[in-house]
Chain A
Amino acid sequence: KAGVTQTPRYLIKTRGQQVTLSCSPISGHRSVSWYQQTPGQGLQFLFEYFSETQRNKGNFPGRFSGRQFSNSRSEMNVSTLELGDSALYLCASSPHLAGGGETQYFGPGTRLLVL
């Protein structure tokens, strides 16, 4: 199976702009999670989607949003970009089977630089 794919891989934006990142999960995986990775804060959970519904959201401002489509592909959007939004954004997918504790498989990430 193909792994998790994320597009674009690199992005440069200026303050105040908005950005949309895309994630395609592993075929058959229905849950998609997003994480932000920065040198200062480390890896932080952004949100998780399952069946086109956001089930959980991390402690991030409302400028961060996302959605999931019927084919399980997900997008996240950041509006009114700030310098502090510069980060590696990682998407992870899991099958969402009964029992929980499933491994999350990560994509290669999108590196966002805000100038």
Chain B
Amino acid sequence: AQTVTQSQPEMSVQEAETVTLSCTYDTSESNYYLFWYKQPPSRQMILVIRQEAYKQQNATENRFSVNFQKAAKSFSLKISDSQLGDTAMYFCAFMKHEGGSEKLVFGKGTKLTVNP
């Protein structure tokens, strides 16, 4: 069964600094998709970044980038120049294929606090 592990329940960072959130996953599939979602106190789940496993290039979105290590099954998120608005829960997710359907399998999340 696919599992997603986020080993850091909570992290904090100073405004303008860089922080890296860890995520490992377990799968026997060779082609898959990984996601980072952000959930601020409003509870709205917002896509941060998406990675396709068959692409070796790490995905980036402005201040957000990933370090995707397929062999190690690792998918960490780096946030550069942290801003107060980055304070949120961050969820790593694996997209699992099941009989023509797809579902997201989430990790337990990392609570990130950006301090002024």
Contact = CB atoms under 8 A, between A and B. Distances in A.
Contacts of A106: 37, 44-46
Interface in A67-96: 88, 90, 92, 94
Please classify how large the interface on chain B is, using the bins under 10, 10 to 19, 20 to 34, 35 or more.
20 to 34
Contacts of B41: none
Contacts of B107: 42
Given A101-B52, A103-B47, A109-B44, A56 B101 contact: yes
Contacts of B105: 45
- Interface size class on chain A is 20 to 34
Contact of A101 (B42, B44, B95, B108): B95
B50 interface: yes
Interface in B19-66: 32-33, 35, 37, 42-47, 50, 52
A62 interface: no
B116 interface: no
A10 B99 CA distance: 33
Contact of B43 (A42, A56, A88, A104): A88
B35 to A, nearest CB: 7
Contacts of A107: 44
Given A103-B47, A103-B50, A111-B43, 13 more contacts: A33-B103, A35-B104, A45-B103, A45-B105, A48-B101, A50-B101, A56-B101, A90-B45, A100-B102, A101-B50, A101-B102, A106-B44, A107-B44
22 contacts: A42-B108, A42-B109, A43-B106, A55-B101, A56-B99, A56-B103, A88-B43, A90-B45, A92-B45, A94-B102, A100-B33, A100-B97, A101-B95, A102-B102, A103-B35, A103-B50, A104-B104, A105-B47, A106-B37, A108-B42, A109-B44, A109-B45
Interface of B: 32-33, 35, 37, 42-47, 50, 52, 91, 95, 97-109
Interface of A: 33, 35, 42-43, 45, 48, 50, 55-56, 58, 88, 90, 92, 94, 100-109, 111
